[in-house]
Chain A
Amino acid sequence: MDSRQRRTATKAPRKSTKAEKSAAEDVHVRITEFAVPSEAPSVEGGRYVYGIIEAKQPLSFGKMGIGGAGETVYTVNFQEIAAVVSKTSVYIFDPTRENALAHEHVIETVMKTHTIIPMSFGTVFRTDDDIREVLRSIFVSLKDVLKQMEGKLEFGLKVNWDRDRIIEELKDSDEEIRQFHQEITRKHLQSTYFARMQLGRMIDKALSERAAQYVRDIYEALRNVCVASRDNKPIGDKMIMNAAFLVERDREAEFDAAVNKIAKFYGELLNFKYTGPWPPYNFVNIRLKLERGAS
């Protein structure tokens, strides 16, 4: 199992907090003075950027850069912030498993000692000076986001359910459904289109309500151990919850315990897929919009 998915256990839709909302705002950078790396790389190559951290001095994180050549991962500093980068002779990285894992591995390593604002996979600049110019141009925004994310980690929680089991349970426990089901069975209306559609509507409504209730309860159980949460769209028809939680680094164990407790409470009824820690992907959104210089 992927070490990032080691957790065993999973939040109902809580609205974004003010801090979370502001952290998730886009930071747009328009660079007009520097060429965007889209042509053949220079002799020295480009710079693959993994993320932004707070660092007053240049740092090195070892030879683990993306691209398979074991390039040193180091920082390009501007005042007290820095971009974590490695040299590369490639400007466009395919999102292969190997590349994605290399990108993640660097972020994971840096995360152990620093709060990192992750960059999107495949962010490449031409030179250290280009990177410094970006850091300079959005220094205030980066400082602000770093401050908000300081000492916080992200955890993912996906919750799946066994829909068929819930339907069977509803047929027994939901009085309205139970009675209607009995009635159409008794009157041999199983093959009647309108009766079946009516039963389907009742079950569908009950399923939606039940899912919403579970999700609310899970969020409620985790509300006091996280800083913020984000509700993403569930994937597929088995998933009822797809959330991300921002948690204080020193409350990780508490969050862990709360997730495991709620997962244990639901037992086999719900399946919790708990992952992390991750950098705050869901709470920071920095897009660097680069434009080729007129020169």
Chain B
Amino acid sequence: MAKAKKPEVLVVEDEASVLLTYRMMLEEQGYIVSPALSSQEAEALLGKKRFDLVLCDLSLEQNHTGFEVFERVRKRDPKVPCVMLTGYANRETTERAEHAGITVFFKPIEIDDFLQTLKAILRNSHG
């Protein structure tokens, strides 16, 4: 029987240590993680391969935001699940995310819940 393919996740976060933390957490769960420290790096990776899920912080380098990354993701493939992490989103931001079908997690995240949710999202998207 063919082995299930490991999900490929793009993680975008402009702080190296936080990016590494998410990466380690996700790799422990068996995901293949492509890390990006900036929206530019994310763009480059998006041009190279298709991801099963994109995880991105709201606030990126300089004045870039996670929404820019998600827009590029969706432009390439509208079906890719998107998850946004934020520590301070206001109602407007949250509504914008929900309207675009982006799952929002508020920091500090509850890790077990976060991982379970990602698993469910991936399961549903491959449904």
Q: Which of A194, A197, A199, A203 neighbours the largest number of chain B CB atoms within 10 Å of its CB? A: A197
Chain A interface: which of B65-73, B95-103, B104-112, B117-125?
Answer: B104-112
| 9 A–B pairs (Cβ distance < 8 Å), ordered by A | A190-B111, A194-B108, A196-B111, A197-B17, A200-B18, A201-B17, A204-B17, A207-B20, A237-B35
* A-side contacts of B109, CB under 8 Å: 193
Contact partner, A200, options B20, B107, B112, Cβ 8 Å? B20
* Closest residue on chain A to residue B24 by CB atoms: A200
Once bound together, how far apart are the Cα atoms of A193 and B21, in whole Å?
10
Instruction: Map CB proximity to B onto A189-219 as digits: 1 under 8 Å, 0 otherwise.
Output: 0111110110111011101000000000000
* Closest residue on chain B to residue A205 by CB atoms: B17
The smallest C-beta distance from B6 to any residue of chain A, in angstroms, reads 14
* A-side contacts of B107, CB under 8 Å: 193
Once bound together, how far apart are the Cα atoms of A167 and B20, in whole Å?
11
Once bound together, how far apart are the Cα atoms of A167 and B24, in whole Å?
10
* A-side contacts of B18, CB under 8 Å: 197, 200
Contact size class for B? 10 to 19
Once bound together, how far apart are the Cα atoms of A256 and B127, in whole Å?
55
B residues at A contact (CB < 8 Å)? 16-18, 20-21, 24-25, 27, 35, 107-112
The smallest C-beta distance from B8 to any residue of chain A, in angstroms, reads 15
Known contacts A196-B25, A237-B35; A203/B111 CB under 8 A: no
Known contacts A199-B21, A200-B24; A193/B16 CB under 8 A: no
Contact partner, B111, options A164, A193, A201, A204, Cβ 8 Å? A193
* Closest residue on chain A to residue B21 by CB atoms: A200
The smallest C-beta distance from B113 to any residue of chain A, in angstroms, reads 9
3 cross-chain pairs, A with B, having the tightest CB-CB distances, nearest first: A200-B21, A204-B17, A193-B108
Once bound together, how far apart are the Cα atoms of A258 and B16, in whole Å?
33
